[in-house]
Amino acid sequence: MTNGTGAGNPRPRRRLLWWGLGGLAVALVLGGVGIWYFVFRDTSPAPVDVGSAARSVNRDRDKTSSTTAPSTFDGKWNVNTTIGSFSDFSSSFAGYRIDEQLVGIGAKTTVGRTPKVRGNLTLGGAQITAAKVVADLTALKSDDARRDGRLAEQGIQTAQFPTAKFELTEPVDLDKTPAEGVSVSARATGNLTLHGVTRKVTIPLDAKLTNGVIVVTGSLDIKLPDYKIERPTSFAVLSIEDHGAFGIQLFFSHAG
């Protein structure tokens, strides 16, 4: 016989068992949240946005060519790669966005960007009369160095086709000359050369004059077969869409 509180009483053991099971359930829930947070959640950078890009210019005024608008907007404007930081995508860049299905993770938007861009545009009144931008694709970086390395030989094959280029073929009417802090939307028609293939495209653009710098963002949906691009393969990738977005975020400073 026991008095209800001794070693022979099963109730304390039952309580310990329930506490143990409860602790295990909490650990599993927290572990699942942790796995989702670090593995399954989509951590892709946001699409380009002229407002966000303009704020980068204001945060980095000491690197702009001037803190006020130039005396004339006419003439050549060069891509300025000294503004902002590529680490948080507050600088000039060009890149891609494409959806893929990953083993054990599922759907994910993959983003790769390069800070190595050069080019210029020419303004005359309320019109862009010329523009050319070249991106060094060998410097593309995504969230996985293995993916970036594969692109040298697969997909856009940067070892063979190291650059992408856009060159304006028709003037762009802005309706009005740039004004500080005012956003303007336009469509730029020209030739896009990617993977050794040149095609005529029209890119929707947003522009904003901020602190004497012309901020330009734009994104164009492209089909990989149009540029003879074969989708990369990997043991970790179930599938990749046959189309993606080519995007730019560019800061232009007046050449003087």
**Residue scoring higher pLDDT (30 or 165):** 165
Give the pLDDT band (50/70/90) at residue 109. confident
- Read off the pLDDT of each residue in 141-155 and give the average, rounded to a whole number: 89
pLDDT tens digits along 220-251? 999 999 999 998 776 565 457 788 999 999 99
- Read off the pLDDT of each residue in 43-63 and give the average, rounded to a whole number: 81
What stretch of H or E contains 59?
Answer: helix 50-59
Q: What is the pLDDT of residue 108?
A: 80
Specify the amino acid at residue 195.
Answer: H
pLDDT tens digits along 199-223? 999 999 999 999 989 999 999 999 9
Residue 33 has pLDDT above 70, yes or no: no
- Read off the pLDDT of each residue in 192-197 and give the average, rounded to a whole number: 96
pTM, 2 dp: 0.79
Give the pLDDT band (50/70/90) at residue 28. very low
Query: Angle CA(66)–CA(68)–CA(72) in degrees, nearest 5?
Result: 95
- Read off the pLDDT of each residue in 16-35 and give the average, rounded to a whole number: 49
Query: Angle CA(240)–CA(242)–CA(248) in degrees, nearest 5?
Result: 95
Q: What is the pLDDT of residue 160?
A: 97
Compute the distance between CA of residue 58 and CA of residue 101 in angstroms, rounded to an integer: 38
Q: What is the DSSP letter of 8?
A: T
Gyration radius of the chain over CA positions? 26
